[in-house]
Amino acid sequence: MELYFFLFFAIVAVASSVAMILQRNPIYCVLLLIMVMISIAGLYLMLDAQFVAIIQIVVYAGAIMVLFLFVIMLLNLSREEGGVFRIQKPLAVLLATLLFLPVAAMIMSYAGGGSTPPAAGGDAGFGEVEQIGTLLFTKYLLPVEIAAVLLLIAIVGAVVLTRKGTVSVGE
Amino acid sequence: MVVDPMILEGAIALVKIGILLGVVFTTVAYLTFMERRVSALIQDRLGPNRVGPMGLLQPLADGIKFMWKEEFIPASADRKLFAIAPALILVPALLIFAVIPVGGEVTIPAFTLFGLQIQETTTTLQIIDLNVGILYILGMTSIAVYGIALGGWSANNKFTLLGGIRSSAQMISYELSLGLSIVGILMLTGSLQMSKIVAAQDGFLDWFIFRQPLAFVIFVIAAFAENNRLPFDLVECEQELVGGYHTEYSSMRFSMFMISEYASMVAASALMATLFFGGWHMPFEDQVGPGLVTLYQVAGFLLKTGFFLFVYIWVRWSLPRFRYDQLMAIGWKVLLPLALLNVVVTGIWMLV
Amino acid sequence: MAIIVEARKMTLAERLYLPAVIKGMLLTLAHLFKKKVTMQYPEVQKILPPGYRGAHRLNKDEQDRVKCVACEMCAVACPADCITIEGMETEWNDREKIPRTFQIDMLRCIFCGMCVEACPEDAIDMTDDIELVATSREEMIWDRERLLKNYDETKDQEGTLGQVLRKSRAAFTRLRGDQLPDPGGPGGH
Three-state secondary structure of B45-84: CCCCCCCCHHHCCHHHHHHHHHHHCCCCCCCCCCHHHHHH
Overall average pLDDT of the A45-54 stretch: 83
Residue B317 with chain C: CB contacts under 8 Å: 28
Query: Computed from CA positions of residues B164, B90, B126, A34, in that sequence, does the dihedral angle turn out positive or negative?
Result: negative
Average pLDDT, rounded, for chain A: 79
By C-alpha distance, the chain B residue nearest A41 is B139
Kindly identify which residue of chain A lies nearest to residue B153, measuring between CA atoms: A73
The list of chain B residues with pLDDT below 50 reads none
Residue C187: its pLDDT value, please? 47
- Identify the residue among B37, B38, B41 best suited for mutation to test binding to C, counting C beta carbons within 10 A and taking the highest: B41
The span from the CA of B190 to the CA of B196, in Å, is: 9
- A69 contacts chain B (CB < 8 A): yes
Per-residue pLDDT, C189: 45
| Poorest-pLDDT segment among A3-7, A10-14, A160-164, C75-79 | A160-164
pLDDT band at A67 (very low <50, low <70, confident <90, very high): confident
User: Which one of A31, A51, A74 has the shortest CB-CB distance to B132?
Assistant: A51
Of all residues in chain C, the one with the smallest CA distance to B330 is: C16
Pick out chain C residues at pLDDT < 50. Answer: 185, 187-189
| Phi/psi of residue C166, nearest 5 degrees | -60, -45
pLDDT at A167: 53
Q: Decide which of A130 and B255 is more confident.
A: B255
> Hey, which residues does C85 pair with through a beta bridge?
C102
C25 touches chain B (CB under 8 A): yes
Contact B153, B164 (CB under 8 A): yes
Encoded amino acid at C64, one letter: D
pLDDT, position B163: 82
- Residue C129 region by backbone torsions, left for phi larger than 0, else alpha for psi between -120 and 50, else beta: beta
ipTM attached to this prediction: 0.77
| pLDDT above 70 as % of chain A | 79
Give the CA distances from residue B100 to residues A43, B123, B198, B203, B252, in Å, rounded to whole numbers and listed in that order.
24, 14, 10, 19, 28
Whether the CB of B163 is below 8 Å from some CB of chain A: the reply is no
Q: What angle do CA C122, C128, C129 make, to 5 degrees?
A: 110
The count of C-alpha atoms lying within 13 angstroms of the C-alpha of B300, restricted to the half-sphere facing its C-beta, is: 21
Q: Label the pairing between strands C97-105 and C141-142.
A: antiparallel
Residues A50, B130 contacting (CB under 8 angstroms): yes
Interface test with B, best of C15, C36, C37, C39 (most B CBs within 10 A): C36
More confident residue, A126 or C95: C95
The alpha-carbon gap from B306 to the nearest alpha carbon of chain C, in Å, equals: 16
The predicted pLDDT at position A77 comes to: 64
Cβ contact A–C (≥3 pairs, < 8 Å): no
Whether residue A65 is predicted with pLDDT greater than 80 in this model: the reply is yes
Q: How far is CA B216 from CA A83, B184, B300, B332, C78, in A?
A: 55, 10, 19, 17, 66
The pLDDT-based confidence of A146 (bands split at 50, 70, 90) is: very high
Task: Give residue-wise pLDDT tens across range C45-91.
Answer: 888 888 889 888 888 888 888 888 888 898 999 999 999 999 888 88
> Which residues between 118 and 137 in chain B have a beta carbon less than 8 angstroms from any beta carbon of chain A?
130-132, 135-136
Q: Provide DSSP, B114-183.
A: TTEEE--EEEEESS---TTHHHHHHHHHHHTHHHHHHHHHHTT-HHHHHHHHHHHHHHHHHHHHHHHHHH
**Nearest-CA distance from A61 to chain B in Å?**
7
Angle of helix A129-137 relative to helix A141-170, nearest 10 degrees, comes to 80
Q: What is the largest CA-CA distance in chain B?
A: 66
